[in-house]
């Protein structure tokens, strides 16, 4: 049975509606009907906090069109969907660094878009406080869409469909960046991925294979302290089931001299090199990997965790492995996985692919 959460259902907005959460609708002069949308949270997922925006069918439909709208970019060539392609788990088409208008190369690897209702901040360094604020930024980013919001609003007002669609979603209020980003956020919140091969195995819909069973066990086991211990990848502390992210920021040991990351937002030296722990759902499709796209394949990622960790003063203590004598130096900083164990771990990661999510037309380009 599905657990159904309904946060706020508002069917009719009136002139007199003054509550803060509805401030974007306040100036609506006429009564209009909206169809409330119920976000269905899978049974296996935790109960999220209330989403940052009210969800309606009309708002989501508008957000879907806007997410795939190239008018949001300077030369009308790039949409959010250009760098967040569904078949790649909503990342940028296998590129290491995401590119913007005019083929400019960006600074970061595009991030997957799914199960976003759980996050309290966005981007690799967490600089956006919520989804509507996040959606404001790509439009005037000089390496991304390179457009001004006043131009976007002008283009949408001149379009044959948008004025009517905005009226349906928000009533008689002028189109502005608040409404555009509100609608896009509504659409993005509907991206729920919870039906991977692994989920089907957990529900006994399909059987576990021996390799995936072993990979899951490695994923969820502490690292070996001696060569006689069961194999452990110790992935679960940060990429915890069922979301496959702990939702926080960590330094996972990529660099000897880590740079940037959460420190750029908090100003704290102790946050240097800490990046958002990405969800591993659909990870088979979201490569290249890490904030800078440095690893092309999951094999490279697993080799890195197995014996390529760089110790620095902000590294997560979880990454620093100890041996049976309590020693955390030298060779102890490895997982000592055999080739077979590494390939079982990768088989498990690939079982996190959710084909339905990657192909469902409810998320596809309607334009
Ligand atoms: C030019 C490519 C590009 C375009 C266009 C683009 N993005 Fe992104 N997106 C990225 C990259 C790269 C990141 C990570 C950037 C960073 O952390 O500095 C990102 C991050 C995000 C995140 C953060 C996810 C998380 O878990 O924190 C969301 C949400 C997102 N984009 C949505 C959008 C929306 C909505 C639009 C359109 C308004 C858009 N993107 C346009 C490349 C792009
Ligand atoms: C201490 C927390 C931590 C542990 C333990 C950990 N990871 Fe990560 N993982 C991260 C962080 C943080 C990132 C993003 C780092 C960055 O880009 O700077 C990441 C990134 C990844 C990525 C890239 C995802 C993407 O979309 O780019 C993969 C794949 C991955 N981890 C798999 C694993 C596996 C497999 C294990 C166990 C062997 C593991 N991780 C253990 C924190 C951790």
Percent of the chain having pLDDT more than 90?
A: 84
Task: Take residue 359 and report the two structure tokens written for it.
Answer: 């192909």
13 or 357, which is more confident: 357
Cα–Cα distance measured from residue 184 to residue 137, given in angstroms and rounded to the nearest whole number:
13
CB of 324 closer than 8 Å to CB of 225: yes
pLDDT band, very low/low/confident/very high, at 321 (cuts 50, 70, 90): confident
What pLDDT, on a 0 to 100 scale, did the predictor assign at position 77? 96
Ligand 2 pocket, mutate which of 112, 125, 224, 235 (most atoms under 8 A from CB): 235
Task: Take residue 135 and report the two structure tokens written for it.
Answer: 């959606």
CB of 151 closer than 8 Å to CB of 145: no
Mean pLDDT of 80-103: 95
pLDDT at 37 over 50: yes
What pLDDT, on a 0 to 100 scale, did the predictor assign at position 225? 83
Ligand 1 pocket, mutate which of 81, 111, 278 (most atoms under 8 A from CB): 111
Cα–Cα distance measured from residue 286 to residue 87, given in angstroms and rounded to the nearest whole number:
9
CB of 76 closer than 8 Å to CB of 70: yes
Mean pLDDT of 209-225: 96
CB of 330 closer than 8 Å to CB of 274: no
What residues line ligand 2, using a CB cutoff of 6 Å? 233-235, 237-239, 250, 252, 254, 275, 277-278, 280, 283, 286, 289-291, 301-302, 305, 316, 318-319
Q: Classify residue 244 as left (phi > 0), alpha (psi -120 to 50) or beta.
A: left
Q: Is 209 exposed, middle or buried (0-12, 13-18, 19+ CB in 10 A)?
A: middle
Angle ∠(168,173,174) on CA atoms, nearest 5: 110
- Which residue is associated with the tokens 């795939």? 68
| pLDDT tens string 243-280 | 999 999 999 999 999 999 999 999 999 999 999 999 99
Residues contacting 298, CB < 8 A, separation 6+: 283, 284, 287, 289, 346, 349, 350
Q: Which of 132, 110, 140, 152 is nearest to 53 (CA)?
A: 132
| pLDDT tens string 59-70 | 999 999 999 999
pLDDT at 296 over 50: yes
* Minimum CA distance residue for ligand 2 atom 39: 235
Mean pLDDT of 105-126: 97
Q: How far is the CA of 6 from the centre of ligand 1 (A)?
A: 28
Q: Which of 221, 132, 209, 216 is nearest to 177 (CA)?
A: 132
Cα–Cα distance measured from residue 47 to residue 44, given in angstroms and rounded to the nearest whole number:
10
For residue 87, give Cα distances in angstroms to 188, 195, 284, 293, 315: 15, 15, 11, 18, 33
| Closest-lying ligand 2 atom to the alpha carbon of residue 291 | 17
What pLDDT, on a 0 to 100 scale, did the predictor assign at position 22? 40
366 or 4, which is more confident: 366
What pLDDT, on a 0 to 100 scale, did the predictor assign at position 68? 98
User: Mean pLDDT of all residues in the chain?
Assistant: 91
Q: How far is the CA of 44 from the centre of ligand 2 (A)?
A: 22
Cα–Cα distance measured from residue 222 to residue 13, given in angstroms and rounded to the nearest whole number:
53
| Closest-lying ligand 1 atom to the alpha carbon of residue 138 | 41
Q: How far is the CA of 111 from the centre of ligand 1 (A)?
A: 6
Cα–Cα distance measured from residue 289 to residue 312, given in angstroms and rounded to the nearest whole number:
21
Percent of the chain having pLDDT more than 70?
A: 89
Mean pLDDT of 44-55: 94
Ligand 2 pocket, mutate which of 231, 243, 277, 309 (most atoms under 8 A from CB): 277
What pLDDT, on a 0 to 100 scale, did the predictor assign at position 29? 46
For residue 254, give Cα distances in angstroms to 250, 294, 295: 11, 10, 11
What pLDDT, on a 0 to 100 scale, did the predictor assign at position 322? 73
pLDDT at 53 over 90: yes
| Closest-lying ligand 2 atom to the alpha carbon of residue 235 | 37
pLDDT at 74 over 50: yes
C-alpha dihedral sign at 119, 217, 197, 285: positive
Cα–Cα distance measured from residue 340 to residue 348, given in angstroms and rounded to the nearest whole number:
12
What pLDDT, on a 0 to 100 scale, did the predictor assign at position 124? 98
Ligand 2 pocket, mutate which of 193, 223, 239 (most atoms under 8 A from CB): 239
């Amino acid at each position: 049975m599905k657990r159904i959460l309904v946060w706020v259902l508002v069917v009719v907005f009136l002139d007199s509606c003054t509550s803060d959460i509805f401030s974007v609708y306040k100036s609506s002069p006429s009564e209009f009907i909206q169809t409330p949308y119920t976000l269905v949270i899978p049974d296996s997922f935790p109960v999220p906090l209330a989403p940052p925006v009210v969800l309606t069918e009309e708002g989501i439909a508008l957000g879907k069109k806007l997410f795939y709208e190239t008018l949001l970019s300077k030369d009308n060539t790039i949409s959010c969907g250009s760098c967040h392609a569904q078949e790649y788990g909503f990342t940028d088409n296998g590129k290491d660094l995401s590119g913007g208008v005019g083929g400019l190369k960006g600074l970061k690897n595009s991030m997957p878009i799914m199960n976003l209702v759980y996050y309290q901040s966005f981007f690799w360094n967490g600089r956006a406080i919520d989804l509507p604020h996040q959606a404001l930024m790509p439009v005037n980013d000089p390496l991304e869409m390179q457009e001004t919001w006043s131009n976007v609003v002008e283009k949408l007002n001149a379009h044959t469909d948008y004025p009517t669609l905005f009226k349906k979603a928000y009533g008689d209020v002028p189109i502005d960046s608040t409404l555009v980003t509100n609608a896009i956020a509504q659409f993005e919140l509907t991206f729920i991925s919870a039906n991977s091969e692994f989920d089907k195995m957990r529900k006994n819909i399909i059987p576990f294979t021996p390799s995936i069973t072993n990979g899951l066990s490695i994923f969820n086991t502490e690292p070996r302290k001696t060569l006689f211990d069961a194999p452990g990848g110790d992935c679960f502390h940060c990429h915890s089931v069922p979301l496959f992210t702990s939702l926080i920021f960590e330094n996972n040991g990529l660099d000897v001299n880590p740079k940037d990351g959460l420190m750029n937002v908090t100003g704290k030296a102790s946050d240097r090199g800490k990046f958002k722990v990405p969800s591993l759902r659909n990870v088979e499709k979201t490569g290249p990997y890490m904030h800078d796209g440095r690893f092309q394949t999951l094999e490279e990622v697993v080799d890195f965790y197995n014996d390529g960790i760089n110790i620095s003063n902000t590294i997560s203590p979880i990454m620093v492995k100890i041996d049976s004598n309590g020693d955390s130096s030298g060779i102890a900083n490895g997982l000592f996985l055999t080739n077979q164990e590494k390939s079982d771990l990768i088989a498990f990661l690939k079982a996190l692919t959710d084909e339905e999510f990657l192909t469902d037309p409810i998320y596809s380009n309607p334009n």
